[in-house]
Amino acid sequence: MKYGEREFTLQLRNRINKIEQELRDVTMKLEQIYTPLFQKQNLDLFVKFEVTNGDHFDEGYESVVIIFINDDIEGDMLDFYNVVVWKCSRTFLGIPLSKKIFGSKVIGELVGESLSDIKVELETHLDDFLELPD
């Protein structure tokens, strides 16, 4: 769901904070559950919730759930998967900008899926990777 600057309210900030905190908890649980399963297959698993520095409504702010799978023996990256939770950026006519220009707008985009849908999506991705043939 996209939000314009005029919609950046305390209520939206609280909603983002709540979703982010719940996903922090989910990522910690997923990492605890799946890390031993991946280690049995000589794989390193990293499931993290990352946030860029700054305020939720500052351009460049982004919160994301990251899954990174690495070959434990050879050190090769095997998989990278992410789900963007909240991203705040500056645009002009729908085109992302890195600098402020006259007429540009700051917009925020919040994940449209429910927490349970995101959790199922992450679990499905991890389960599918474990089932891949060697």
Q: One digit per residue, pLDDT tens: the chain, 134 residues?
A: 999 999 999 999 999 999 999 999 999 999 999 999 999 988 999 999 999 978 999 988 999 999 999 987 777 888 899 999 999 998 888 777 777 888 889 999 999 999 999 999 999 999 988 885 54
Domain tally for the chain?
Answer: 1
Host domain of residue 51: 2-131
Give the other-Cβ count within 10 Å of 88's Cβ.
Answer: 24
User: What residues have CB less than 8 Å from 50, skipping those under 6 apart?
Assistant: 63, 64, 65, 66
> pTM of the prediction?
0.85
Q: Name the 3-class secondary structure at 59.
A: coil
Q: Name the 3-class secondary structure at 6.
A: helix
